[in-house]
Amino acid sequence: MVENGLIERLRSGDRRALARVISKIEDGSPETPEIISELYPSTGGAYSLGFTGPPGVGKSSLIGQLIKLYRREGLKIGVVSVDPSSPFSQGAILGDRIRLAEHFLDRGVYIRSMGSRGHLGGLAATSKLGALAMEAYGVDLVLYETVGVGQGEVEIASAADTVVVALQPGSGDAVQALKAGVMEVADIFCVNKADHPQARGTAAQVRSILEIGQELNPRPWVPPIVMTRGDSGEGVEELKEKIEEHRAFLEESGELKTRRRESLKGTVISWASSRLEEELQSRLSRENSELMNRVYSRELDPITAAERLLREVQ
């Protein structure tokens, strides 16, 4: 049973209650289903932005600059930063907390670092559930920052309404980041460190690839390319304008409802898959599992065993 009054305190704007709820979610507490059930009716009002890109590109600096602009408008911000997990403690390295430190004293900004804990796709498994808690808390905008591990970070598309892919000049990112699905998830491309000598060349590369893609597979929204500097804030206002243009496009076209419906479906499937995997692991891990003993002795092949296992849990 959920701690008495915890969800009510969260809804009333209690930061400690929010921190406690997210910790329970992240730690896999058995209370999680009841927590989500109680806070879910208070969600759905926040817009979400996702930032992905290679390590060192300056995602945290860009997010910090954007937070300044949104706070001037009085918006309440929630940030979910996913860090690589420590191989020793399995906890987050918390580098993003350091880079976003200037916002910690702002009561209108709530920043939460989560360890990836081996989860692929750029987000922690509990990222979206943590964001739901932030929505119930009352944030107007959720900013996701992925772990920053390379081309596999396409899961961000299932969580965020608008996805920004940040690229770094002179590192080959322009070509690498447009492979393996990242091309499809980007709503906006951001070439950060615009003062770099190769910045304009990187932007030209991306533009050329986008033009080819548009000829082969025309899309109603062509991702714009914005030149920025996370250290000085140069170009960040333009980035914010493009984010707002994309939001308007999603709302007018009806795509926003479609994206959010798909995102929720992904959350349902992800949770169900996780629970199913736990049950399957439990059944196969039991000492002297008859099914696995038959597989080990070559009496039964792995595929047939898997089909029987699935029938058992249905």
3-state helix, strand, coil in the chain (%, to 5): 50, 15, 35
Whether the pLDDT of residue 290 is over 90: the answer is no
Position 265 pLDDT exceeds 80: yes
Give the lowest-confidence range in 7-11, 81-85, 148-152, 280-284: 148-152
> At 135, is the pLDDT very low, low, confident or very high (cuts 50, 70, 90)?
very high
- pLDDT given for residue 54 in this prediction: 80
Q: What is the mean pLDDT of residues 101-108?
A: 75
Pick 265 or 122 by higher pLDDT: 265
Residue 55 vs residues 42, 80, 256, 262: alpha-carbon distances, Å:
34, 16, 29, 28
> b/e per residue, 2-27, with b = 16+ CB within 10 A?
beeebbebbbeebeebbebbbebbbe
To the nearest whole percent, how much of the chain has pLDDT over 70?
81
* Residue 95 exposure: Cα atoms within 13 Å on the Cβ side: 16
CATH architecture of 44-253: 3-Layer(aba) Sandwich (3.40)
Helix axes 32-39, 15-26, angle to 10 degrees: 140
The residue with tokens 């890109």 is: 53
Top-ranked range on mean pLDDT: pick from 39-53, 122-136, 277-291: 39-53
Highest mean pLDDT: which of 117-121, 147-151, 221-225, 308-312? 221-225
pLDDT at 92: 45
Token match 């498994």: residue? 125
**Average pLDDT of the chain, as a whole number:** 84
> Are 169 and 76 in contact, with CB atoms under 8 Å apart?
no
Query: How big is the CA angle at 219 (ends 214 and 221), to the nearest 5 degrees?
Result: 110
pLDDT digits (tens, 9 = 90+) for 173-186: 555 555 556 667 88
User: Is 70 in contact with 237 (CB distance < 8 Å)?
Assistant: no
